[in-house]
Amino acid sequence: NSIWVSTDHDEIEKVAKQFGAQVHRRSPKVSQDSSTSLEAIREFLNHHHEVDIVGNIQATSPCLHPSDLIKVADLIQKEGFDSVFSVVRRHQFRWSEVKKGENKMTEPQNLNPAKRYRRQDWPGELYENGSFYFARRHLIEKGYLQGGKMAYYEMRAEHSVDIDIDIDWPIAEQRVLSFGYFGKEPLKEVKLFICSVDGCLTNGRIYVTEDQKEMVSYDYRDIVGINLLKKRGIQVRFISERDCSKTLSAIQLGCIAEVKATNKLQVLEDWQKDMGLNWKEIAYLGNEESDVECLKKAGMSGVPADACTVAQKAAGYICKSNGGCGAVREFAEHIF
């Protein structure tokens, strides 16, 4: 009946409200590094007596789909379960731990080595994956997220993502891009790709010779990426705050460009109207504060790894490559 974000952070509150969620401001008491989810939920219930069932969705599991939550809510509301939690099936053989200095051997925990079978032929075991915990109010007030008439909900392996440590981030990122939920509307096919020249197509550096001629460098991989976009029928255009027409002419990309653009968003809106495109059909790669509004408008947005902080916050995708070092090619592959 209601969607809440529990936080003590101003920026998280702002974003949550932008997406239509209500916000519960956590007290300092339950906002410590050692605070548990259960403590935060119990505090929330103390302020919301109208709530009978809580579905605690963990932010560290970003591949959760609404269809799973609907089925879990039905288990509680229609089938009478008191608590439901998420699990995933794993095919891993477990052995007992032998600590350093102990004079004993390891023992198998869930297999018989004399009758060892292939893991893919074994049904596996169910493990909590931390994606969500649903429970009735009376259980939570007693200090439980699991109890009473319990049920587990088995999630698909590709949707089971749990971010615990730093190395989990790149794995989670790729899972979300491949299996994540992107809303009810189908993704629009990109028809226009707009790239900021300085800092995206080039590395933003300008080299000046002794006779005062300017030179810039670019990465050939980015040219390949632009050609791939054009082969797929995506129109490519460039935009720049400075007059870099000679640079673009020298690279011979044959693309429309707007240079000396004092208002990039206005240029973007003019192109969008002239081509009759939906914003979701436009992809934008920028790297500076002047690109922020364009990044927010475009259906797909990206920045190089070395983009400024405000641009990174506005973008939907942050490349691993720096500007002028393959970021255009990488973003092109992201679009595909």
pLDDT of residue 264: 92
| Count of alpha carbons within 13 angstroms of residue 84, beta-carbon side | 21
pLDDT of residue 186: 62
Question: Mapping DSSP to helix (H, G, I), strand (E, B) and coil, where does residue 174 land?
Answer: helix
pLDDT in tens, 183-239: 776 666 889 999 998 889 888 777 777 777 777 777 889 889 999 999 989 999 999
Least confident of 72-81, 86-95, 97-106, 209-218: 209-218
Portions of the chain given CATH number 3.90.550.10:
52-179
Least confident of 55-59, 154-158, 192-196, 313-317: 313-317
Q: 248 or 270: which carries more pLDDT confidence?
A: 270
Q: Per-residue pLDDT averaged across 61-66, rounded?
A: 91
Query: At residue 1, does pLDDT exceed 70?
Result: yes
Query: At residue 157, does pLDDT exceed 70?
Result: yes
* Average pLDDT in the chain: 89
Question: Quick check: pTM over 0.85?
Answer: no
Q: Per-residue pLDDT averaged across 146-150, rounded?
A: 95
pLDDT of residue 218: 75
89 is catalytic: no
Q: What is the CA 21 to chain-centroid distance, rounded?
A: 18
Query: At residue 245, does pLDDT exceed 80?
Result: no
Q: What is the DSSP track for 230-292? A: HHTT-EEEEE-SS--HHHHHHHT---EEE-S-S-HHHHHHHHHHHHT--GGGEEEE--SGGGH
User: Of 272, 295, 115, whose CA–CA distance to 195 is shortest?
Assistant: 295
Least confident of 32-46, 112-126, 247-261, 281-295: 247-261
CATH class, 52-179 region: alpha beta
Share of the chain above pLDDT 90, in %: 61
Least confident of 104-118, 162-176, 210-224, 318-332: 210-224
| pLDDT tier at 308, thresholds 50, 70, 90 | very high
Q: Per-residue pLDDT averaged across 66-86, rounded?
A: 95
Tell me which of 116, 119, 156, 242 is the catalytic residue: 116
Strand-pairing partners, residue 88, are 127
Portions of the chain given CATH number 3.40.50.1000:
192-335
Q: Per-residue pLDDT averaged across 155-178, rounded?
A: 88
Q: Per-residue pLDDT averaged across 250-276, rounded?
A: 88
pLDDT in tens, 288-299: 999 999 999 998
Fold of 192-335: Rossmann fold (3.40.50)
Strand-pairing partners, residue 57, are 132
Q: Per-residue pLDDT averaged across 127-146, rounded?
A: 95
Query: At residue 128, does pLDDT exceed 70?
Result: yes
User: Of 153, 155, 133, 152, whose CA–CA distance to 144 is shortest?
Assistant: 133
